[in-house]
Structure formats: C-alpha cells, structure tokens
Structure 1
C-alpha cells in the first residue's frame, strides 16, 4: 500500500488528452488582483481518470475552465489534444422546455449530425445511462439523480460524437454530484465508473471530497490553497477496500497540512 501511494512526479506522456505547463491565472489588476493559479503543471493521458482535489477556493474550477477553453491563462500553456471538451457542472443545467431526449440530442444537432443519426445516438445514450423509458419526460418530471444522468448523457454526446475520432475524448466534471443526497450520489459514482470504462473517454473530475476522489480516480492530484499549484499526486487505481480507506486517510492528512500551512 505504501508503494501505491508513494508520490512521484509524472513523467512526460507519449500522448495526452490535455497538458498544462506553467499555468498562471490572475483575475483583476493592481491591488484588487486575485492570483487563482500559481504555476500548474499537469498532464492527462487519453482514457485516464484524474481527480482534482483541494480546499474551496484553490482554483480547481478555474483550472477546469482553462482546459475547457472557457477562459485563457495569464501565463503558461494549455494544450488540449481532443475534440471539443465536454463539461458537466454541479447543476444539471438542462433546457426546461426540452425533453430528456431533446436535451441529449442538442449537442449532436449543433455538431451538424443528421436527424436519423442523432435519434439513433440519443437512444443509445439514454440506454447507456439507464434512462431508456424517460426520453419524453421534461426536467421537472425527473428526480435530481435522473436530471444528472441526462446531463451526463448530454456531455457524453458532446465528447464522443462531435469530435475527431482520431483524437481522444475529454470529459470535464465540476463537482457534478455534490448537491445530491448520499444514496443517489453513491449510485451515480458507480454509474460514472461504468460509463467511463464503456466509453474510454479521459475524465478530469473536480471534487473537494477525498473519499469520492479515491473511489473514482486512477490518479488524485492535490492542489495547494490559493494560488493553486500541484503539491502532490497519488496513484489510487486498483485498491482493495482496506487499501482505499487507508488512501483516504493518507490524502486527508496531507490535505489538512496544506490547509493549515496556508492558514498559518
């Protein structure tokens, strides 16, 4: 177990879905400037599941936005070697006037895919997230967990079906399960692992929950308190139940150290 959690630098990847080199991000200017990220180096391999962990305000969401192309770094390089990255947020953000099927179909339509193919792919995605019987329901008719399943299927539609097939797919997730009750959250975590294995997409998953990060990720990346930078990484794939609990304890201790040092 100690070897599994030993921290070491990640060497250069022969291929990557995303790579950040010396990334800085500052909001505002002068005395009101806020330095959100202070030199982040991070690589994500095709098909890899990486969890970004850190205290609130450490720049996790900012980093995700930079990878998504929703913002630009103040300095450093962000390279995304995939089709258009798909983003899933804490809120499902579904179009309330559209059915579940129509919400999933929307990125396919915007991607220029023909009607017949859109319909077929939407049916496949509904089945993939186990919502085949909810295709005609609108968001207000669905539970919170079901709405997040629709949002996940929509993100998969964007990541898997509107990109260059020769490039790795990339799914970016910003605390998508944090607003759900514990039972629904547990179910959707299991579903996400199943879907990730089925699709082969690379995933960058932002969370502040150490247990969630260890359960889901192959690699857990800890960011410092603001300004955020990578302070430690752990390989956590393939752990047994006891090893997983030990990993949670180890990472929790390190997270508390990072927070305490910042407060001091």
Structure 2
C-alpha cells in the first residue's frame, strides 16, 4: 500500500496508477477497484460513470484521502482535495456564511479575510444576501450551493495553506428535483469556468455526465475497472445525442456482462 503523495508537477492535478482496493481479508475479501489508471489535468472536468456499486465513490474516497488503496499509487499535485457529497452536510447551528468560512477557519485564515472570502464565494454561487440564514431556512438547491461555496473555500486552502485546485463531487445533485438539478448543473459549469478548478464528478446519469464533463470515464461493474473513455467537451445537438446513446449502450453491455 502506498500513501497519497503531493509529488506531481503542474501538468497534472491527480494521477492514479494501478490502484486496487479490497475490503476484508482472505476468502471473504471483496475487491471494489482493480487496476485503475487515471490522470486528470489541471482545470479538467472529468465525469466518472458506472452502475451502482461499481466503485465510483470508493475511488473518490481514495483520492480524497479518506481511505487508502490496497495497492497502487495516488499522486496529487497539491494539498488534500475538497469534497462535495450528495447531501449538503452543513452545520445546522451555523449560518450559510459561517459554514463557508469553516474550512478557512480550520486552515488558520484570519477572521477578516475569511469573512471577505465567504462573501465572495456566496456571491459566486448567487447567494448574495443569504449569508445570515441557517440551513433550515434554505431550499435544498440553496443548501447545495452553500456546500459548493464551502468546497471551493476548502479547495482554495488545502493542507499547509496551499491551493488544492481539485474538487471531488459525489452525485451532488441526485437528490434534487429535475428543475433544480438542471439549474445547479448550469451553475456548476459557470463556477468551474470562473475558478479553473479541476473537477472529478461521480454520477450514474449519462446525460448529466455528457452535459457537464470534458471527458467521461466509464467503470465496469465490481470490481471497478476503466472500460472506456469519451471526449465530450463542446458537444451539442445531434452529436451529443449520438454520444449519449453510445455511452448508454456501452453501459448496458457492462451491466449485462456482470449480471451474466
């Protein structure tokens, strides 16, 4: 087992080489990931796609440093990545602004600076004026935007005060209604283009992956392996429809072969 190391140069945000992850020992061990090779460039938006249980979340947890690979290496260009989960996971006793400030406070940023930065990030996610509201006073979509602002604050102040510049997102919009999800997808793209942060976005929704990502990476059913990749940056109209159908067909093949 090898540790996650901040050893990469400026040309790569994160690199996974031969990553393998098993849970348990002996005959009862379950292999979640096997031989994962994946490189994400600085500022790149990569969507991880696959059926439920294929190891997408496990992969994200390894990159985030929340767990360690059984074998292989995970190399990061900077500090620990920021993570955004399916649930907003905001501190209910803190206001929206204080939730965004939290990673800055933990990083030792002085109060005046973190207050100003939190205000800037709330403005970036179009929540100006909502900083004094607590989570229960916000809609689900607004809570996710606060969570995004907090993740961006964390990305700007990684370990040792360095910028992480890598945001890991684990199906952050799947629990929202279709209209809110569509709106937040657009907002995420706007924020990504504004900040230049590299994003690894986990989803099981092919259309979401093609709409958001520059590259779509399909994982096989357990154990998760990289099956195929598609460059999807700038697609639209009939071309996008064709690619969505192609990925859907490949995903069905992967699921069928596993079931057989």
Same fold judged by TM-score > 0.5?
Answer: yes
Equivalent residue number for residue 5 of structure 1 = none
What are the equivalent positions in structure 2 for 1:4-153 lying under 5 Å apart?
Answer: 15-153=11-149
The CA RMSD measured in Å over matched residues stands at 1.4
**C-alpha separation in 1, matches of 2:10 and 2:89:** 36
**C-alpha separation in 2, matches of 1:103 and 1:167:** 19
2:210 pairs, out of 211, 214, 224, with 214
Asked if structure 1 preserves the Cα contact closer than 8 Å seen for 2:81 and 2:164, the reply is: no
Equivalent residue number for residue 204 of structure 1 = 200
Displacement of 1:162 after TM fit? 4.0
SS of the residue corresponding to residue 129 of structure 2 reads helix
Structure 2: runs of 5 or more not aligned: 1-8
Equivalent residue number for residue 244 of structure 1 = 240
TM-score by length of 1: 0.93
SS of the residue corresponding to residue 132 of structure 1 reads coil
Asked if structure 2 preserves the Cα contact closer than 8 Å seen for 1:44 and 1:50, the reply is: yes
Question: How many equivalent pairs are there?
Answer: 252
Asked if structure 2 preserves the Cα contact closer than 8 Å seen for 1:88 and 1:172, the reply is: yes
**C-alpha separation in 1, matches of 2:19 and 2:89:** 29
Displacement of 1:188 after TM fit? 0.2
**C-alpha separation in 2, matches of 1:14 and 1:104:** 27
SS of the residue corresponding to residue 231 of structure 1 reads strand
**C-alpha separation in 2, matches of 1:56 and 1:66:** 18
Q: Does 1:230 align with 2:219?
A: no
**C-alpha separation in 2, matches of 1:70 and 1:132:** 32
